[in-house]
């Protein structure tokens, strides 16, 4: 039995997309942003009350990178994953977890633009710094795509790295466009067109973000 605990437009979208790409059967439990993630029952699954939580057999996991590793090892070790003796294993692990580096900056921007509801709570300095850090991440992924030469993050083709990074950039585009990153934009357009990506999107009006784009300069 696999059950994913999910909220729209959060890191759990990464796991939802990957499960769909894998084609495995799973149950989906969706939470709104109403405090239900802080219930005692949910805190037994995720100790700080965040998504995702993944029930898999008798185990419960709550870190997306670890979840991706386990799912790929079980269901797609050398297709979406890379087994320990695969020549791309080290790069696979590196770029799989770089999605979280990117997501840290997106989370900081989400807090500033979305979660802090009064203008006096927000810091244009933090917004500007985190946007610049996000830009560096975009550049790093674009450089890797050029180095790979396959049209995907790794030379061997589409993997969970593309899923993790694609989801992080989907979130990042709410704060920094891909206009200055043509190679990244081309890759992202192909990720966005994948049926499994489309299946991981929220229903209209059910996401975290009220606007399609937030600019730090709006708060100066």
Task: Give 92's contacts (C-beta < 8 A, 6+ positions apart).
Answer: 81, 82, 86, 154, 159, 160, 161
pLDDT for residue 161? 98
pLDDT for residue 210? 84
- Characterize the bridge pairing of strands 27-30 and 2-6: parallel
- For residue 191, pLDDT beyond 70: yes
- For residue 7, pLDDT beyond 90: yes
pLDDT for residue 117? 81
Q: What is the pLDDT of residues 127-156, one digit of tens each?
A: 999 999 999 999 999 999 999 999 999 999
Q: In terms of residues, how long is the chain?
A: 220
- pTM of whole model > 0.85? yes
Any alpha helices (H) in 23-110, and if so which ranges? 40-43, 64-75, 89-110
pLDDT for residue 220? 63
Query: Going from the N-terminus, what domains does the chain have, and what CATH number goes with each?
Result: 2-75 (3.40.30.10), 89-205+207-216 (1.20.1050.10)
């Amino acid at each position: 039995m696999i059950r994913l605990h999910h909220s729209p437009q959060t890191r759990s979208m990464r796991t939802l997309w990957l499960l769909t790409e894998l084609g495995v059967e799973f149950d989906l439990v969706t939470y709104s942003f109403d405090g239900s993630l802080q219930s005692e029952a949910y805190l037994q699954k995720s100790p700080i009350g965040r998504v995702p939580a993944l029930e898999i057999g008798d185990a419960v996991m709550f870190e997306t990178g670890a979840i991706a590793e386990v799912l790929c090892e079980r269901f797609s070790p050398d297709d979406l994953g890379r087994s320990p003796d695969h020549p791309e294993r080290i790069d696979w692990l590196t770029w799989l977890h770089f999605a979280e580096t990117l997501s840290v900056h997106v989370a900081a921007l989400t807090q500033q633009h979305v979660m802090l509801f009064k203008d006096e709570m927000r810091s244009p300095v933090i917004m500007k710094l985190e946007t610049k850090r996000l830009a560096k991440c975009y550049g790093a992924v674009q450089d890797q795509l050029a180095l790979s030469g396959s049209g995907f993050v790794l030379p061997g083709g589409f993997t969970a790295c593309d899923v993790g990074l694609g989801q992080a950039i989907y979130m990042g585009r709410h704060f920094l466009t891909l206009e200055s990153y043509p190679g990244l934009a081309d890759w992202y357009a192909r990720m966005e067109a994948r049926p499994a990506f489309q299946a991981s999107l929220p229903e209209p009006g059910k996401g975290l973000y009220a606007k399609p784009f937030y600019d730090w300069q709006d708060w100066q």
